[in-house]
Amino acid sequence: MKKEIEITAYKCKKCGKLHYPFHDRCLACRTREFETVKPSGNARLLTFTRIYNLPWGFDQRYLVIGVVEFENGIRAMGQIKVDESVKLKVGMTMLPSWEPVRVQYGENVYGLALAPLS
């Protein structure tokens, strides 16, 4: 079953600045009132890297990490699920989903997964 993307961003009620992750006070105006916003639509790839020296907890050869911007302006990091042969480019449209991104204590940890659309 397709899982909902469990990212919640916070829009400042005073100045409208969008935050992800959470901050107790707005980074722009320092007020404390926010409305929650969920990411919407596809995402545009802002930057990415293929990491070959992985940290403890990842028993695989490489990991592709990217930062994207959703159609409603939320920016987030995620894992790009592609093999080495796929050529990525900044500006590509990515299909977001919520999938296992690592295993901790024998259990899947879910996070933002991305696949190139274009």
Partner 1 sequence: MRDVAVIGVGMIPFGRRDEDSLMDMLAYASLKALDDAGLGDQSVDAVYVGNMGGGMLQHQSAIASSLVDRLSLLPAAADTVENGPASGGSAVKNGLLAVASGYYDTVLVVGGEKMREVTGWRATDFVATMTHPLAEYIYGVTLPGMAGMFTRLYMEKYGVTREALVAVAIKNQEMGGRNPYAHVEMSITKEGIYDDHASIVNNPVVADPLHLYDACPVSDGAAALILFPLEKLKNPAKPPVVIAGFGQATDTQTLQEREDPTDLKAVTLASQQALEMAKLKPSDIHVAELHDAFTILEIAESEHVGFFKKGEGAKAVLAGKTALGGTIPINVSGGLKARGHPVGATGVAQVVDIVYQLRHELPKNRQVKNAVNGLTVNFGGFGNNVLSFVLRRVS
Is 53 near partner 1 (CB under 8 A)?
yes
Per-residue binding letters, 13-52, with partner 1 (x by CB under 8 A): ------xxx-----x------------------xxxxxxx
User: Phi, psi (5° rounding) for residue 68?
Assistant: -125, 165
Say which residue the tokens 């596809």 belong to: 42
Q: Which is nearer to partner 1, 18 or 93 (CB)?
A: 18
Tokens found for residue 104: 């901790």
Contact 104, 95 (CB under 8 A): no
**3-state SS assignment for residue 110:** strand
Query: Please, what is the minimum distance in Å from the beta carbon of residue 76 to partner 1?
Result: 7
Closest separation between CB of residue 24 and partner 1, Å?
13
CA 43 to chain centre: 9
How many C-beta neighbours within 10 Å does residue 34 have?
21
> How big is the site for partner 1, counted in residues (CB under 8 A)?
32
Interacting residue ranges for partner 1, rule: CB under 8 A = 19-21, 27, 46-58, 63, 65-67, 75-79, 90, 101-102, 109, 111-112
